[in-house]
Structure 1
Amino acid sequence: MSIAGKTFKSIIRRCVPQKLFFRPSSYYSSPFLEDVGDITRKYEITKDPEDWKYVERILPVAVVPEPVKKDVYPSGWKPQGDNLQDQPYFVERTKNHMIPVYLQVAQNGVRRHTKVKFVKGDIWLLEKELREFLQKESFGPIRSQVNEFAGFIRFSGDFVNAIKYWLEQKQF
């Protein structure tokens, strides 16, 4: 932006005092640290369980606790089924007891992939059943990639809610 050959910055610098543009908080202008000497703090080490119960209350838990069994949860979350041994495949829940289906977005939101992780067992049969289910829901062909070694399936497109619904119906 130029007004009669002068830029906006040059006009402002002439009108506003230079003290406002000076930053005294730079690295070079900060004062040197002074040695404050030896600091001693009085503290006491205790192994009394009565004292430690207050400390343990504020420490984070090491593992996520098992959810309380209910018929219906207010959030709509459903726990994993108990009788899944007869299934040819298994989709393991995450450590937070959630279904491991994720949306991967790339190229500024243009490319979307749905990823189903932690698949154990016959991953090819799971991919075939998911593809048949998704084919009913979509108009075009369903492209997928199976990584048997890493235990995940990647579908081209945004099918997160549909796959989570299907897995919940199968009690995974």
Structure 2
Amino acid sequence: MTPLKQTAFLPGDRVVLSPYGIGVVCGTCERPLGGQAQTYYQIEFPSTVSRAYIPVADPDCTGIRRALNAADLPELLDRLTRGSLNLPRQWSARHRLVTEILACGNPFELADLACELRRWNVQRGLPDLDRQAFRRALKLLEQEISDLPDQLAAQLCGLLQEVWNEPPNAAASAV
């Protein structure tokens, strides 16, 4: 798995923070906590009016990570097209694993999940909850790459839209 976490952020860095999504580090500020001033990263989320404050001393405790950048896109494309994930056939075990992957939000794991669920969709169609997970993975990936000013990002967004609209067994009938 590709490491995505880095603990030092600069103003203008794109970050991901669940459940807010993609945000931008605006700088640092001091806020009182227990009678002492603590330093926090101030994160703003362009698609909402939400703002988050992440402790500079321990940002990892919040699950914050750097958002994908253009250098990450070739690996992401590879995983979206050739990734694999050993999903359990039993629904409850599969649901637990899929829920963990979606909650973690690691884009490379999301791409592996999307690729595997697409494979299942092409082979036999997806049950409703798996289809919802598939679409959630695609939407999370799209949110992370849609504002990257890169040609490959635009191609990836197109691929995600194509896959989103692909009916079950579409690739099987096209082959």
TM-score normalised to structure 1 length: 0.21
Between structure 1 and structure 2, the one with the greater Rg is 1
